[in-house]
């Protein structure tokens, strides 16, 4: 299925690595212009920008932003909207953090930092950009959740709570924005082969593979393909849905 995103400008938060990086690349490959953010890992993000600028000249921009800061989120959207890439057509709320610990060991700071980034950050950016998006026809918001928000996960009381809340937020926004032809959907990945997984030992990787009915982790490009479809006009009659991509883990 051919997806055409020419003349459409997307913001992808946390686009410098992992799933976000794959989303940025797939959107650009489909013809879109993309602004993406990072908070940590400047060298990695800069190197990715340099690589993309050669392949997609004039179609990509990088911004540093701490999305849990409401004022930074507002300033980020204002700056992007005035950029040479033009007004935004869609937002991919991908940026997030984990601070895993058993509940008895989890500190209040660990709880608050994860909620402030994963949930409040999604709220702040959506709030800052939504008035611009509703001026478009069939604009898009894609929120990256997780299977940890669908089922329980040991040591992830904070992370799972935020990802479940993102699913609920997605449904509410879909209802409120439907009259504006703004579609809001969520994607909930399971175990995906990212840089974080690369640091695990082979024994732990094998244990994870055995947990998954398909006996393998997902690829970042598989998640990116789903997100790109949801960003396209092919998905114009889909809103308020959560798409689980986990190789059958939650079955």
Segment holding 227, helix H or strand E:
helix 220-231
Quickly list DSSP for 33-54: EEEEEESS-HHHHHHHHHHHHH
Quickly list DSSP for 79-95: HHHTSTT-S-SEEEE--
Parallel, antiparallel, or unpaired: how do β-strands 90-93 and 9-12 relate? parallel
Dihedral-angle region of residue 84 (phi above 0 means left; psi in -120 to 50 means alpha; beta otherwise):
alpha
Query: Out of 89, 124, 159, 237, which one is annotated catalytic?
Result: 159
- Is residue 226 within 8 Å of 187, Cβ to Cβ? yes
Query: Is residue 237 among the annotated active site residues?
Result: no
Alpha carbon distances (Å) from 104 to 99, 107, 108, 156, 157: 14, 8, 11, 12, 10
| Cα four-point dihedral sign 150, 156, 157, 158 | negative
Alpha carbon distances (Å) from 32 to 64, 70, 173, 222, 241: 21, 27, 24, 18, 23
- CB atoms closer than 10 angstroms to residue 123: 17
- CB atoms closer than 10 angstroms to residue 92: 30
Active site residues: 159
């Amino acid at each position: 299925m051919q997806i055409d995103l020419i003349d459409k400008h997307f913001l992808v938060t946390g686009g410098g690595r992992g799933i976000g990086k794959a989303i940025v690349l797939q959107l650009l490959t489909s013809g879109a212009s993309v602004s993406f953010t990072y908070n940590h890992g400047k060298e990695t993000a800069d190197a990715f920008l340099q690589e993309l600028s050669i392949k997609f000249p004039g179609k990509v921009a990088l911004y540093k932003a701490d999305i849990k800061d409401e004022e930074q989120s507002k300033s980020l959207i204002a700056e992007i909207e005035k950029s040479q890439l033009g007004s935004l057509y869609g937002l991919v709320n991908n940026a997030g953090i984990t601070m895993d610990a058993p509940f008895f060991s989890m500190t209040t700071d660990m709880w608050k930092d994860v909620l402030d980034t994963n949930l409040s950050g999604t709220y702040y950016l959506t709030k800052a950009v939504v008035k611009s998006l509703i001026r478009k026809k069939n604009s898009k918001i894609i929120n990256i959740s997780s299977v940890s928000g669908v089922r329980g996960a040991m040591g992830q009381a904070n992370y799972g709570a935020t990802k479940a809340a993102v699913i609920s937020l997605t449904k509410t926004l879909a209802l409120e924005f439907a009259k504006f032809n703004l579609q809001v959907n969520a994607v909930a990945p399971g175990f995906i082969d990212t840089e974080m997984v690369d640091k695990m030992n082979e024994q732990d990787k094998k244990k994870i593979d055995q947990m998954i009915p398909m006996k393998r982790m997902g690829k970042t490009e598989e998640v990116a393909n789903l997100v790109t479809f949801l960003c396209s006009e092919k998905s114009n009659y889909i809103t308020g849905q959560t798409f689980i991509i986990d190789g059958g883990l939650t079955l």
